[in-house]
Structure 1
Amino acid sequence: MSFQRVYDIAGSALQAQTSRMNTVASNLANAGSVAASEEEAYRAIKPVFATVYQQTQAGELAGAGVNIAGVLPSDRQPEQRYQPDHPLANDDGNVYYAGVNVMEEMADMMSASRSFESAVEVIGRVNSMQQGLLNLGQR
């Protein structure tokens, strides 16, 4: 496997985890939002990742990166609360809070951050390997 393939794979991981962090940020930003109906209420969004296999010219497996296949809304239902004095309350006095679990989002954020750091570490190690090869050539 060439160094370029390692960079491509690690780069795809960085892009995927950046997308994951963006969705987490959106979810946390909207965690306390309120709507007048269930349909209008914010639902958490999650990225969907797909494996992308890389092959050599001879058709051998050379590695696997990740691709963002899409971003989908969560199945978590908005929370209905009876608050007749709220300005967004519907005729029944209900408001709908975003379908976001802050604890799950924080755990997802920590996981994405660690995955991002791992990909950066891979890139750093490959850089060190390349530098070592260059130093060998100068001897």
Structure 2
Amino acid sequence: MTFDAIGIAGTGLTVHRKWLDAISDNIANVNTAAATDGAAFQQRYVLVENGSDSPGVFVAGVELGDAEGRLVHQPDHPLADADGYVRYPDIDLGDQMSQLILAQRGYEASAAVVDRAKTTYEAALQIGRS
């Protein structure tokens, strides 16, 4: 019970790291082209749940976005079909950048909680030694 703050903040660190990983994948593949007879890169969404047996939050899984994507007319692209279309993921880069900022700030907040809890526990140990 004494170290609950560190444990709970640690679960937040893990969730935000996984969220950052998903966003990184989405941003890295925003311009990934595919042939029209194939699937577009599918956006990653991290699903999070409250802990049932222990406090904190946990990654429940990853949900994938639409494989249809969007068709773009690029007749000079090597993957273009007979009509000149290529399939791209339907990912909004502006939305991903906003999500990136939120995930980064959440990660930083959880890290700050771990740091402050550690400092508090160390101070309590020092009081006990006196």
- TM above 0.5, yes or no, is yes
Write out aligned runs for 1:39-50 (5 A).
39-50=38-49
The TM-score normalised by the length of structure 1 is 0.85
User: CA contact under 8 A between 2:39 and 2:68: conserved in structure 1?
Assistant: no
Alignment match of 2:65 (pick from 74, 93, 107): 74
Count of aligned pairs: 130
Whole-Å Cα distance in 1 between the matches of residues 20 and 2 of structure 2?
27
CA deviations 1:45-87 (Å, max 9, x no partner) are 11100111456xxxxxxxx311111111124852211122211
Cα deviation for residue 127 of structure 1 reads 0.9
**Aligned residue number for residue 97 of structure 1:** 88
Secondary structure of 1:108's partner?
helix
Secondary structure of 2:51's partner?
strand
User: How much identity, in percent, do the aligned residues show?
Assistant: 27
**Aligned residue number for residue 120 of structure 2:** 129
Q: Which runs of 5+ in 1 are unaligned?
A: 56-63
Counterpart of 2:75, as a letter, is: P
CA deviations 1:107-131 (Å, max 9, x no partner) are 1111011101111111111111111
Q: Which runs of 4+ in 1 moved over 3 A?
A: none
User: CA contact under 8 A between 2:6 and 2:118: conserved in structure 1?
Assistant: no
Cα deviation for residue 38 of structure 1 reads 6.4
**Aligned residue number for residue 59 of structure 1:** none
The structure richer in strand per residue is: 1
Q: What RMSD over aligned residues (CA atoms) do the two structures have, in Å? A: 1.7
Whole-Å Cα distance in 2 between the matches of residues 24 and 81 of structure 1?
23
Write out aligned runs for 1:1-139 (5 A).
2-37=1-36, 39-54=38-53, 64-75=55-66, 78-139=69-130
Whole-Å Cα distance in 1 between the matches of residues 37 and 7 of structure 2?
42
Secondary structure of 1:80's partner?
strand
Whole-Å Cα distance in 2 between the matches of residues 38 and 134 of structure 1?
64
Whole-Å Cα distance in 1 between the matches of residues 37 and 60 of structure 2?
27
User: CA contact under 8 A between 1:51 and 1:66: conserved in structure 2?
Assistant: yes
Whole-Å Cα distance in 1 between the matches of residues 37 and 50 of structure 2?
34
User: CA contact under 8 A between 1:34 and 1:97: conserved in structure 2?
Assistant: yes
